[in-house]
Chain A
Amino acid sequence: MLFRRIIADRVSTTWMVISISTILVLPLVIGIGLYVKAYPLLELKPFGELIGSSTWLPHEQKFGFLPFILGSLYVTLIAFCLSAPVCLLAAIFITQFSSKRFIYFMHPVIDILAGLPSVIYGVWGIIVIVPFISDYLAPLFGIKSSGYTILAGGIVLAVMCIPYILNMLIEVFNTIPSGLKEASLSLGATFWETVKHVVIKKGFPGIISAFGLGIAKAFGETMAVMMVVGNMLQTKFDLFDAGYPLPALIANNYGEMLSIPMYDSALMFAALLLFGIILLINLVFRYFIYRTKKNE
């Protein structure tokens, strides 16, 4: 009997170790795979030229990824600026000010938003956001625009990120002990002062990490953005002009124009860039969290 229990113990431990090693190895395998595939291009052109140049002429073997990188950054930046304040204030309201009944009502709403497939957000962008920009918003500034713009991509992406960031922020604020709030209130702080000086400050590392994960997710989001962003090469930051983010480049072209020499390798390099940038974003935010926790 004891022998069987010990065997079961060993088996379950081994099983867990195998599971965790798979998870640890996966990013490494993907990274190496992308690097191997992108290697022919890296052999042909220096890394600096690939990411620094904005000439994209695959037929002439000119691969400049700058417009794509910038396109991704612009869209992500707009999405972040639009969603971060909304999420922060909504999470504070849900966790600190609202009643329990409202929270029960709110959870399914967030879950629905989070569960919608991105293509639905894309269609919604095309039928609502794009016409809104071309017919109302752009003329307001005296600009002619097709509506398929960086701004449209940013708005759609922001809406997609909201449930994701909001859920994480709610978790963060729920971990703050009520004793801490009571301490601040009993010293004569108003509720808002308590939120500002205590709740946000205590949850700061968590808030940063929620934003970081949100940005990393937004950066790689493909389908919905691709449908509304216009997909035109562009390096300047213009809200009412089209852009071409990295994920859209890969999704639009992979499997299509692979007869062009080096094109396959170039798309793999784009994937590797995406991989690297998202890794970098995560590392930077991890470092922020580490710093704020240390200084606390």
Chain B
Amino acid sequence: MEIVLALAIGALTASGLWLLLRPRTFQVVLGLSLLSYAVNLFILAAGRLRTDAPPIVGRDGPVDPSLYADPVPQALVLTAIVISFATTALLLVVLLASRGLTGTDHVDGEEGDQ
């Protein structure tokens, strides 16, 4: 399972980074989204991978913590997802404003030398 997750993170990061360096604003937005997926998976992996282990402890008495998954990275991921979603939405608005004001979707607001 580790190798699958690692490959997924790697593929997402690589394609995100490539898109981030492209000249069109929409590609940049997509690149940032892919990168943020990669980072979210990475945070989840930082809490060690477990299957079939709940992160929330029940109310009935003392429990064995080794049976449970680490809840902290999951909470972090939730926060990170919300924040990256919001900032991506904001970036999309700026993208549209930039397209409207400059008439091009190039990141510099003007077409570079071909």
Q: Do A and B bind each other?
A: no
- Chain B interface residues toward A at CB < 8 A: none
